[in-house]
Structure 1
Amino acid sequence: MSTEEPGTEGTQPRRLTRAETKARTRVLLLEAAAYVFARKGFAGASVDDIAERAGFTTGALYAHFSGKEEVFVELLAGRTHSRLAEAAEIVSDVDSSLDETRSAMSRLVVDVADNDDDFALLQAEFWLYAIRRPEFQQHLAGQFRTNRDALAAVLTARAEKRGQGGDVPFEELATVLVALFQGLVQLRRTDPDLVPESLYGEASRWLFSGITPRP
């Protein structure tokens, strides 16, 4: 496995530093793990499978992770954090109207549901694995709380910038919004016709304003 970074035309490749090589190896192992776990499941996957897919030895994997459980947890946390960061960026844009924010979140639901099949399989695998093990249930709950708290902080900051907020229970609101997002993503993966692109935005509007007849 090369430890050189391609150079531009006419220049020599730059050798990666030790830290860069280590970080690159970790990324490649996580990418390989996503592929293996999605196709073999947690129980069927092995550290040998992951290392072989990444092009490394099992020793290289153990130099970065204690075993496949740690790989699995970090992989899911990283994917989840990435999606949460996208959602937080959308919600925290105070220059966008509420309708624009809801539309952008609806599009994110569709994008997550339609374009990341491996992540869908990883989520299902992790839920099945965690629900049978109390220590992993705690991890799963902790991950949800982390996501919920991050969104609650964004909602609070947005409301304060608009001179709103008051006694709004932002933590409870964020819990419902995260659960709504996750639920609609899973439902669209099962039956896209049940979750059109506008549904998340409409559902969040119902949450804030109540259901009104369509014109």
Structure 2
Amino acid sequence: MRATTRSRENTRARLLEAAAAVFAEVGLGEASVERICERAGFTRGAFYSNFASKDEMFLELAKAVAQERVAAVRVRVAEMDIGAGLGAEAENAAAIIRVLDVMDDDRVTTLLMHEIEIHAMRDPEFAAAYAAQLDDIVAEVVQLVEEIVEAEGLALRLPAHEAASIILAVWSEVSRRVAIAGLEGDAAREIRSVEVGRVVQLVVERR
């Protein structure tokens, strides 16, 4: 039974990985089930044994991306040991940027997230489910901001939820622009750090 469960999980994981690449390359509309299965090395039967439809797979993929981001943020927060104090790093906004940097949106991820957002705009049911996932990410960043503010004697110029939402919005926008410019790796991270850092400085101040 365990071997069967692991095999099914592996099949789903491979299908989702293939779907992420295909969705990013050609968009949801052109990403046929056949094309996804061919990329994953499976038949249509394997697809429909795991997903009722392409939309269901798309929502599962959006959920997986959100969960990976939340998990990465949690790990980075734990590694930084915020409670021990961050000194000047928090003051110049580097602490928050370091945490967000684990979401390192490469071009494929940025394209995928853009496709997810477009689909959410067109499909109310999908939008509701995706909005709940976004709330999880914002909640993690809210916690991060509140912990840094408390530990370092800082203050926010607006509520933590609003601050986190603004920071993430700028992060996403910059990720889109660097993808359009064809930048990746260190070049993309540097631009995000500078622009997100400016926003963080605007919403955080010393008490």
- TM superposition score normalised by structure 1: 0.73
Name the Cα RMSD after superposition. Answer: 3.1
Pairing of 1:39-58 with structure 2 (within 5 A): 39-58=25-44
Cα deviation for residue 134 of structure 1 reads 2.0
CA distance in 1, matches of 2:77, 2:67: 15
Pairing of 1:164-175 with structure 2 (within 5 A): 169-175=159-165
The structure-2 alpha-carbon separation of the partners of 1:167 and 1:190, relative to structure 1 and needing over 3 Å to count, comes to closer
- Percent identity reads 28
CA distance in 2, matches of 1:118, 1:103: 21
Size of the alignment, in residue pairs?
191
CA distance in 2, matches of 1:55, 1:18: 18
Report if aligned partners of 1:77, 1:143 keep a CA contact under 8 Å in 2: yes
Unaligned runs of 5+ in 1: 1-15, 211-215
Asked if 1:80 is matched to 2:76, the reply is no
By relative contact order (CA 8 Å, sep 6+), the higher-ranking structure is 2
Deviant stretches of 4+, over 4 Å: 105-109, 157-168, 191-194
Letter in 1 for 2:35: D
Report if aligned partners of 1:106, 1:200 keep a CA contact under 8 Å in 2: no
Unaligned runs of 5+ in 2: none
Asked if 1:183 is matched to 2:179, the reply is no
More helix by share: 2
Cα deviation for residue 32 of structure 1 reads 1.1
Structure 2 counterpart of 1:104: 98
Letter in 2 for 1:22: R
CA distance in 1, matches of 2:47, 2:116: 20
CA distance in 2, matches of 1:168, 1:187: 27
Structure 2 counterpart of 1:69: 55
Cα deviation for residue 101 of structure 1 reads 0.8
Structure 2 counterpart of 1:154: 144
Deviating more after overlay: 43-52 vs 187-196: 187-196
Cα deviation for residue 207 of structure 1 reads 1.8
Structure 2 counterpart of 1:140: 130
CA distance in 1, matches of 2:115, 2:143: 29
